Amino acid sequence: MSDPRTIMHMDLDSFFVSVERIKDPSLLGKPVIVGGVGARGVVSSCSYEARRYGVHSAMPGAQAHKLCPHGIFLPGDYTAYSDYSRRVTQIIANAAPLFEKASIDEFYVDLTGMDKYFGAYRWATELRQKITRETGLPISFGLSVNKMLAKMATNDAKPNGQLMIERGKEQEFLDPKPVGKIPFVGEKLEESLNKMGIHTIYDLRQMPLENLLSIYGKTGTALWNRARGHSDSPVANFREEKSVSVERTFDSDSADDEFLLSVLFVLTEKLSYDLRKLNRMTGCVTVKIRYEGFVTTSKQHTVDYSLSSKYLIEEATKLFHQLYEKGRPVRLIGVRFSSLIYTGTQYSLFDDKEEETKLYSAIDSVKNKYGTGKIMLARGMDMGNVKRNNDISAAMKEQVNRENSQHNRNNAAEEQ
């Protein structure tokens, strides 16, 4: 075994709620729920006061309302959340040589080499205090020998606390916990383990590796390792994005072909724009349809690497026609681009399509100025309202026609 590392994990406590409370201190001490607004909303974040009523994140809004009728439901202010997240990230970046931003509200810091364990603990305590002092946000941390244990320590420390697992006490820390406390053991896996009589991590540790391997494959090996506190994934300060996606659930199901196609158009346009902003091209397009009753299907296709809205919309439309069962009510439509490659200097390959490039940069510069939502998505997003659908369809048709005639002109020019 290699020398033990010292890893810190940090988690902003009910982050969205904390930001809302900075914006409006009268929310302090009250059951605040972010999300769960609208016909099909779910809870994104909730205060500990709300959790006492059984509310938790990912819960359908209707259920949260039932459990906590006097709760304060907020739609969420994602711009503010990003801003605060960035501020916290900056504080950590200034203090730590090697850290990883694991999500909008979670961070890992590698403190290996910091004079023994207690020096690291003091350093971590000070960083935590500094974050709360400078942003007003409560944050918890865990400290241990790897990412998994540090994260589990944070979970025990929350809310607004800190916990170091002493060296050598790792197994003692793990053994009594339910297997579901292991990160990556979700509802399904926990249920499956419980059925075999495995409830605690101690129970899991009694299972021979061969058994776990034959039942769960790779997952089995991971379970065997996690039960022993083994986890060697490094603190990674950079991660390349592998896919981008966008999807929308409608307030009510729709089987209106024209409407569905216009949504697909808007989503694909938006995603292509994101792709160009990232300086990436995609080599694979996936269209997802979720029908009435949560029945979900998808169709993907490998395509020539592209960042062209027009081309990607054509591909998405083809996939949609192959996938969609006409007349069946649809709950959600989604688009994903994967097999991303960095455009880098290759962007010049597109110089010969000057017209197209100009069109995009014109659209993009307007978007940069006013925000994506306002240009293409504002009308497309709140689509519960059927009356609006006709407007959208008309606008989309107009746009498609414009692009088609442009396309035809280009083709004609090429043929000459």
Catalog residues that contact DNA under the rule CB under 7 A: 35, 39-42, 44, 57-58, 60, 62-63, 66, 102-106, 151, 183-190, 217-219, 241-249, 274, 284, 286, 293-294, 296-302, 331-332, 334, 339
Nearer to DNA, 323 or 359 (CB): 323
Whether the CB-CB separation of 16 and 34 falls below 8 Å is answered with yes
Distance CA 219, CA 251 (A): 37
Cα–Cα distance for residue pair 250/98, rounded to 1 Å: 42
Whether 106 is catalytic is: yes
Q: What angle do CA 44, 48, 52 make, to 5 degrees?
A: 105
CB of 154 to DNA, least distance (A): 9
How far is CA 393 from its chain centroid?
30
Minimum Å distance from CB 278 to DNA? Answer: 9
Instruction: Answer left, alpha or beta for residue 24, where phi above 0 means left and psi between -120 and 50 means alpha.
Output: beta
Q: Cα separations (Å) of 200 from 18, 152, 193, 216, 333?
A: 33, 14, 10, 18, 40
Query: 34 vs 114, which CB is nearer to DNA?
Result: 34
**Radius of gyration for the chain, computed over Cα atoms and rounded to the nearest angstrom:** 25
247 or 354: CB nearest DNA: 247
| Phi-psi sector, 197: left (phi>0), alpha (psi -120 to 50), beta | left
List C-alpha distances in Å: 125 to 112, 152, 235, 410, 414: 16, 17, 19, 63, 66
Bridge-based pairing of strands 162-164 and 139-144 is parallel
Q: Do the beta carbons of residue 233 and residue 147 sit within 8 Å?
A: yes
The residue among 31 and 334 lying less far from DNA, judged by its C-beta, is 334
How many C-beta atoms surround the C-beta of residue 278 within 10 A? 16
Catalytic residue among 49, 100, 106, 398: 106
**CA neighbours closer than 13 Å in the CB half-sphere of residue 9:** 26
Q: How far is the CB of 158 from DNA (least distance, A)?
A: 11
Q: Are 260 and 280 in contact (CB under 8 A)?
A: no
What is the smallest separation between the CB atom of 343 and DNA, expressed in angstroms?
A: 17
Identify the CA nearest to 379 among candidates 365, 399, 358.
399
Q: For DNA, which is the closer residue by CB, 58 or 412? A: 58
Residues 303 and 136: their CA atoms lie apart, in Å, by 48
* Least spacing, CB of residue 301 vs DNA, in Å: 5
Question: Closest separation between CB of residue 414 and DNA, Å?
Answer: 27
Residue 268 and residue 400: Cα distance in Å, rounded?
A: 13
CB of 248: closest distance to DNA in angstroms? 5
Measured from the CB atom, is 8 or 114 closer to DNA? 8
Q: At what angle do helices 78-95 and 15-23 cross, to 10 degrees?
A: 110
Residue 29 or 75: which CB sits closer to DNA?
A: 75
Q: Of 63 and 112, which has the nearer Cβ to DNA?
A: 63
From the CB of 62, what's the least distance to DNA, in Å?
4
CA distances from 48 to 45, 54, 131, 152 (A): 10, 10, 21, 19
**Active centre residues (catalytic):** 106
